[in-house]
Amino acid sequence: MKNIIVIAGPTGVGKTKLSIQLAKLINAEIINADSMQVYKNLNIGTAKIKDDEKENIIHHLFDIVDVNKNYTIFDYQKNCRKEIEKILKKGKRVILVGGSGLYIRAALYDYKLEKENIKNTYIDKTNNELFEMVKKIDSNSTIHINNRKRLIRFLQKKDNNQEILNDSKPIYDFDIIGLTTERKNLYNIIDTRVDNMIKEGLINEVKVLYDKKINSKAINTGIGYKELYKYFDGSINIEEAISLIKRNSRRYAKRQYTFFNHQFSIKWFETDYQNFSNTINSVYNYLMR
């Protein structure tokens, strides 16, 4: 069995549950690979694992950044590699778990990230040209044509991400497995999960941040947070906000599938929700091959 295991896949498919059980079987520690779970105070909306669910397994890179701060791929690459080396020196294995494919790739592949890593200022482009470039990448983008700053920031992010994908090679020997389920079932799970988040207090969690006037990148991009901010701003009602959270979560899951299939040689396993031990055994037997 390899010393580094990656558990990937779309939101809501059972990655956290698998990571805990697998860690107990192979003497591993877990490193977070979810771009939102690094932030403090973003708990319910990110489905962050609770302390009483960790079953004495050591977890790394959860709750390490203030929600007001901007945590970059550069930061994650540096921190994750540091944790990997520390765990391996203990003689234990590493389980990297999460749905943020760029974080996983930045950590495990030989890509030389600079702290800012922004090269193109698009100073020669008009707003119309920027707008058309954004629409070609994301036809559903809601960025206004006059919001030049956001248009440029969107394009710069895509530039950086593309460099990571094109120019990097693995620096670690690892296995990457993915959990999946039938698309209709996944969407039902996501919708139910959002309903449960609301029951658990997501609205109150976001209201605390809103009342503190926190308006950081994490809030503006985080599903569940950006939609409820619109509700608190009065631009949509609560039913519309919840509907948007569900829709955006489903779309995000679709993008996750696309990314992992295109960027990794990933072994997919169908999640057995009726008897999850079957999923654990299938993954374990594969890793022991």
- Per-residue pLDDT at 111: 78
What is the pTM (predicted TM-score) of this model? 0.83
Question: Do both 207 and 74 map to the same domain?
Answer: yes
Question: Do both 101 and 139 map to the same domain?
Answer: no
Angle, in degrees to the nearest 10, between helices 148-167 and 127-137: 50
- Domain with 225, as residue range(s), is 4-111+168-287
CA distance 163 to 172: 19
Give the number of domains in the chain.
Answer: 2
CB 181 within 8 A of CB 193: no
Could you write out the DSSP letters of every residue in 211-238?
A: HTT---HHHHHSTTTHHHHHHHHTSS-H
CB 115 within 8 A of CB 109: no
- φ, ψ of residue 267 to 5 degrees: the values are -100, 115
Distance set, CA 103 to CA 32, 247, 268 (Å): 10, 23, 19
- Domain CATH for 173: 3.40.50.300
User: pLDDT by residue (tens digit) across 108-155?
Assistant: 998 776 554 545 667 667 888 889 888 888 888 889 999 988 888 888
User: pLDDT by residue (tens digit) across 204-248?
Assistant: 999 999 999 999 989 999 999 999 999 999 999 999 999 999 999
Q: What is the largest CA-CA distance in the chain?
A: 58
